[in-house]
Chains A and B, each alone.
Chain A
Amino acid sequence: TQLLEQSPQFLSIQEGENLTVYCNSSSVFSSLQWYRQEPGEGPVLLVTVVTGGEVKKLKRLTFQFGDARKDSSLHITAAQPGDTGLYLCAGGGSNYKLTFGKGTLLTVNP
């Protein structure tokens, strides 16, 4: 069974601060997806990384896939209240199913 561990589980910061969320596993994944979920809604895909060492940027968000494709990180620069939400990482394997981490609940206070 493939497991994804996310840390931290909760994060409360002030507007303008930087933060990093981690997603780690002992298993290799063919791809790693990051989703954001807002209250009362379903998860929405932010990015997919597929190559070891890959870095993708989405405005103030930077995503990295580990060289061994076992871990990933999400870095947010100058966080804003609109970044508040549950961030989920999900690993893709050799089939069509995803393994989800338990999520990081981010609160950005104005």
Chain B
Amino acid sequence: NAGVTQTPKFRVLKTGQSMTLLCAQDMNHEYMYWYRQDPGMGLRLIHYSVGEGTTAKGEVPDGYNVSRLKKQNFLLGLESAAPSQTSVYFCASSKGGSARDIAKNIQYFGAGTRLSVL
């Protein structure tokens, strides 16, 4: 079972370069999320999607864009990378549903992408 797969695993960019991180899930989940994890800051939500063709801003969306053209894929783009975007990026997915349906709100995470912007 692949679950949530993130590519690439590592990337080094120069300031101003652009790149796209790919997240793919094979669990037929409705909801997908992009987080960044920085030392001492925990996981912070960048953008999320509640279904194919929909996206919404999270806690720290500036400098990022996302697209969900297919249900199984969620792309995170950096148009002009900055050193402040050096971080570990995690994608997650969940079945989605009301808060009372706990099983549907469990998030499954990928292994992360380590990005350095020089």
Q: Which residues of A contact B (CB under 8 A)?
A: 9, 30-31, 33, 40-45, 48, 50, 88, 90, 92-98, 100-103
B97 contacts which chain A residues (CB < 8 A)?
A: 96
* Interface residues in B, total, Cβ within 8 A: 29
Contact B99 A42 (CB under 8 A): no
B35 contacts which chain A residues (CB < 8 A)?
A: 100
B60 located at the interface, meaning its Cβ lies under 8 Å from any Cβ of chain A in the complex: no
B31 contacts which chain A residues (CB < 8 A)?
A: 96
Shortest B76–chain A CB gap in Å is 15
Contact B105 A96 (CB under 8 A): yes
Contact A102 B41 (CB under 8 A): yes
A30 contacts which chain B residues (CB < 8 A)?
A: 99-100
B118 located at the interface, meaning its Cβ lies under 8 Å from any Cβ of chain A in the complex: no
- Extra contacts, 16 of them, besides A42-B109, A45-B108 (Cβ < 8 A), are A40-B111, A40-B112, A42-B92, A43-B43, A44-B109, A48-B106, A50-B102, A88-B43, A92-B99, A93-B99, A96-B31, A96-B99, A100-B35, A100-B43, A102-B41, A103-B42
Contact B110 A88 (CB under 8 A): no
- Alpha-carbon gap, A50 to B109, bound state (A): 21
Contact B105 A42 (CB under 8 A): no
Shortest A25–chain B CB gap in Å is 13
Partner of B50, one of A9, A50, A96: A96
B33 contacts which chain A residues (CB < 8 A)?
A: 97
Shortest A58–chain B CB gap in Å is 15
Contact B96 A96 (CB under 8 A): yes
Contact B107 A98 (CB under 8 A): yes
Shortest A84–chain B CB gap in Å is 17
Contact B4 A102 (CB under 8 A): no
